[in-house]
Each structure stands twice: as C-alpha cells, then as structure tokens.
C-alpha cells in the first residue's frame, strides 16, 4: 500500500495539473488560428500575435515545475497522476470551444480517473536520494 506523499510533491502535482490544463487550452486556441493559412501566414501570426508566446511561457513554467517534481518522485508514479487534467480539459473544451462530449468520451474519462486512482494506490519512491538510482544508468 502507498505511503503519504510529501506536501511538496502534492503541491507540485497540483501545479502540474493546473499548468497542463492551461497549456492544452491555450495550445488549441493558438493552433486553431495559426493553421488556417500557409507557412508565411503562420510565421506572421506568430510574430504579431501573443498567443504562441503565452503557450511557450506556460510550457517553460510547466517544464520547471515538472523537473522539480521529478527530483522527488518516481516518473512512472507521477506521470499517470497528471491524467486528472483530462477532466478539466474536456469540460473546458466544451465550454470554451463548443466541442462535443459524447457518451463514450464520458465513460472513457471515467476509466481514466479510476486508472489514476489505481496508480495512486501503488508503492512509490518519493524524496528518495539520488544515490538510490542504479549505478549502471549513470551517463
């Protein structure tokens, strides 16, 4: 059975979920506007509109938070937890982009959430010392 997660790991996961959601929504918003034209139109749009820069800034924040988090928890434990952002992304996609959310999608999202619950119940190494990593993996 799993042991309680350290507070900084929980906080890092919460920030990761928030940033995942923001990145996905802003990315879709950007892609929708950019990909209607040719390469020249895309370059001009990137230079004159702030949306791509917002996406890049959010992705940098996401990367920094994720690197800090991975220093304290197993990758195969932390990454599946981020699937919780599927709820926020799908619901906000319906609200903001008028996308359809069908019956299968709702059931699928339910499966994903149950899967995340299973993963969260498993043993994990958090805040384990760097020295615990296998020596043969050293570069």
Partner 1 sequence: MSSAVPLVGVLLVVVCCAIEGFAQVFYKKGARGRRRFVVYGTSLFALEAVLYTVALRYLDLSTAYPLGSLSFVSVTLLSQWLLRERVTPTRWVGILLILAGAALVVMHA
Binding site for partner 1 (CB under 8 A): 24-25, 27-28, 30-32, 34-35, 59, 63, 66-71, 74-77, 79-80, 83, 86, 89-90, 93-94, 97, 99-102, 104-105, 107-123, 125, 130, 133-134, 137, 139
Say how far apart CA 35 and CA 68 lie, in whole Å: 34
Tell me whether residue 14 or residue 35 sits nearer to partner 1 (CB atom): 35
Query: Shortest Cβ distance from residue 56 to partner 1 (Å)?
Result: 9
Query: Shortest Cβ distance from residue 33 to partner 1 (Å)?
Result: 11
**Of 65, 60, 59, 91, which Cα lies nearest the Cα of 78?**
65
Outline where DSSP puts E strands in 28-112: none
Query: Shortest Cβ distance from residue 110 to partner 1 (Å)?
Result: 7
Tell me whether residue 10 or residue 125 sits nearer to partner 1 (CB atom): 125
Greatest alpha-carbon span in the chain:
55
**Of 48, 8, 13, which Cα lies nearest the Cα of 30?**
48
Residue 29 main-chain phi, psi, to 5 deg:
-60, -45
Tell me whether residue 10 or residue 117 sits nearer to partner 1 (CB atom): 117
Distance of CA 129 to the CA centre of its chain: 25
Query: Shortest Cβ distance from residue 58 to partner 1 (Å)?
Result: 12
**Of 71, 76, 84, which Cα lies nearest the Cα of 15?**
84
Tell me whether residue 15 or residue 34 sits nearer to partner 1 (CB atom): 34
Query: Shortest Cβ distance from residue 13 to partner 1 (Å)?
Result: 15
């Amino acid at each position: 059975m799993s042991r309680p997660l350290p507070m900084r790991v929980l906080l890092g996961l919460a920030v990761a979920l928030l940033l995942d959601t923001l990145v996905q929504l802003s990315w879709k918003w950007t892609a929708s506007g950019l990909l209607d034209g040719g390469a020249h139109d895309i370059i001009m749009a990137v230079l004159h509109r702030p949306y791509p820069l917002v996406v890049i800034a959010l992705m940098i924040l996401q990367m920094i938070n994720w690197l800090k988090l991975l220093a304290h928890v197993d990758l195969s434990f932390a990454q599946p937890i981020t699937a919780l952002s599927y709820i926020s992304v799908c619901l906000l996609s319906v609200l903001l982009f008028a996308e359809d959310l069908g019956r299968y999608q709702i059931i699928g999202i339910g499966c994903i959430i149950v899967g995340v619950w299973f993963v969260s119940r498993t043993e994990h190494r958090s805040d384990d010392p760097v020295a615990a990593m296998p020596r043969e993996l050293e570069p």
